[in-house]
């Protein structure tokens, strides 16, 4: 199979390295700017410059690994190429865009498809080829695939070559799907770093703070996998321990205080959705109401009060920037 990858950012470089390492495929890369020899992936042919035709002309698969804003533009440019598209596939990997953005080249006969890996990619150090780094970033990665039947077939074959796992589910709402990916990929990491920073503020060394945050996050994920539907959350919100939550809030300011209160409300919502469950009795004198009881939940009221007070004290936070 001949595969042309348009773009050599983190995703493009990962694709080029994994496909070249798999063997049996002619892999080429197009970039707008030249790539230094030390940063090139071994076994991959590179084309640089404004003209995409040399790399895309004879490729059986053209994989767009470019920013979202460039996908539609490149699809239109591909449609203008003087080549037969029937029997070829054009793929993009944007989680926020549907296959419709590839319509210009689909009308020329190409099979079109979204093939989105649910994984982030960190580049190897400069001058180190991905295959030399001893890792395949796609191994075990889930992919969502959506497009024309022929495009889906091509994408599934390539996911197999990459060592990924093609999910069976269909994406009905691209914005909501992309939001979900961002929450896990970015905000999960943000919460981990927040925990580590606060461990360090409490007195732990930087190394011990990171170790503690990582261990707790790993333990939380393990609980979520192993509880078989039983509640996995723990801590003062679950217990209805208002005084402990107040103590936490007293140590926070600004956006951290807002985040703690907003996440607390989300956690209360999650606890109330547990089938047949009740919030644990408080270990302090104050107990939280059972799911479905009065809206006068002391923790919910506390969190809402914090949100109102903090936002009221920070009017700029609600005003769009220039």
pLDDT means per 10 residues, the chain with 322 residues, are: 94 93 92 90 93 94 96 96 95 96 98 96 62 73 97 97 94 95 91 96 97 94 74 83 95 94 93 63 40 61 92 54 37
pLDDT by residue (tens digit) across 25-49?
899 999 999 998 888 988 999 999 9
Residues 6 and 144 in one domain: yes
Rounded CA-CA distance 260/237 in Å is 11
How far are the Cα atoms of 45, 176, 312, 314 from residue 319, in angstroms, in the given order? 49, 24, 12, 10
Handedness of CA 121, 124, 130, 133 (dihedral sign): negative
Residues 58 and 124 in one domain: yes
Q: Which domain holds residue 205?
A: 176-224
In 3-state terms, the chain is what percent helix, strand and coil (to 5)? 50, 10, 40
Residue at 90 is within a domain: yes
Q: Which of 141, 150, 148, 146 is nearest to 171 (CA)?
A: 146
Residue at 145 is within a domain: yes
Q: Are 254 and 310 in contact (CB under 8 A)?
A: yes
Residues 27 and 159 in one domain: yes
Residues 194 and 146 in one domain: no
The reply to whether the predicted model has a pTM over 0.85 is no
Residues 217 and 231 in one domain: no
pLDDT of residue 285: 37
**Number of domains the chain is built from:** 3
Count the neighbouring beta carbons within 10 Å of the beta carbon of residue 113.
29
pLDDT of residue 23: 85
Residues 49 and 157 in one domain: yes
Residues 40 and 124 in one domain: yes
User: What is the C-alpha radius of gyration for the chain, rounded to an integer number of angstroms?
Assistant: 25
Residues 16 and 103 in one domain: yes
Write the DSSP assignment of 195-211 as a string of letters. HHHHHHHTT--HHHHHH
The torsion angles phi and psi of 3, rounded to 5 degrees, stand at: -120, 125
Pairing of strands 2-6, 61-64: parallel
Contacts of 3 (CB under 8 A, 6+ apart): 19, 25, 26, 27, 28, 59, 60, 61, 62, 63, 158
- Exposure pattern of 286-309 as b/e (b: 16+ CB <10 Å)? ebbbebeeeeebebbebbeebbee
Rounded CA-CA distance 125/137 in Å is 14
- Return the CATH number at 164: 3.40.50.720
């Amino acid at each position: 199979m001949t595969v042309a990858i348009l773009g050599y950012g983190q995703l493009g470089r990962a694709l080029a390295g994994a496909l070249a390492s798999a063997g049996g495929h002619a892999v080429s890369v197009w970039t707008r700017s030249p790539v230094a020899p030390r940063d090139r992936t071994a076994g991959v042919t590179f084309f640089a410059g404004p003209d995409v035709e040399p790399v895309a002309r004879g490729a059986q698969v053209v994989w767009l690994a470019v920013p979202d804003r460039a996908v539609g533009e490149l699809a239109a440019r591909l449609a203008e190429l003087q080549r037969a598209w029937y029997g070829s596939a054009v793929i993009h990997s944007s989680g926020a865009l549907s296959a419709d953005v590839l319509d210009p080249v689909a009308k020329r006969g190409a099979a079109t498809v979204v093939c989105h890996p649910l994984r982030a990619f960190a580049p190897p150090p400069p001058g180190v080829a991905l295959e030399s780094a001893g890792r395949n970033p796609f191994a075990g990665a889930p992919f969502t695939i959506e497009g024309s039947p022929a495009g889906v077939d091509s994408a599934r074959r390539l996911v197999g070559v990459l060592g990924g796992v093609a999910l069976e589910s269909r994406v009905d709402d691209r914005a909501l799907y992309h939001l979900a990916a961002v929450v896990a990929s970015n905000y999960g990491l943000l919460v981990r770093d927040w925990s580590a920073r606060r461990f360090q503020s409490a007195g732990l060394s930087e190394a011990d703070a990171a170790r503690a945050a990582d261990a707790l996050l790993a333990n939380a994920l393990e609980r979520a996998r192993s509880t078989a539907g039983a509640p996995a959350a723990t801590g003062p919100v679950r217990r209805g321990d208002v005084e402990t939550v107040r103590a936490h809030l007293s140590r926070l300011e600004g956006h951290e205080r807002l985040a703690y209160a907003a996440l607390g409300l989300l956690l209360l919502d999650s606890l109330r959705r547990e089938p047949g469950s009740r919030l644990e009795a408080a270990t302090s004198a104050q107990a939280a109401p059972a799911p479905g009881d009065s809206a006068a939940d002391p923790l919910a009221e506390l969190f809402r009060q914090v949100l109102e007070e903090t936002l009221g004290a920070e009017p700029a936070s609600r005003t769009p920037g220039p």
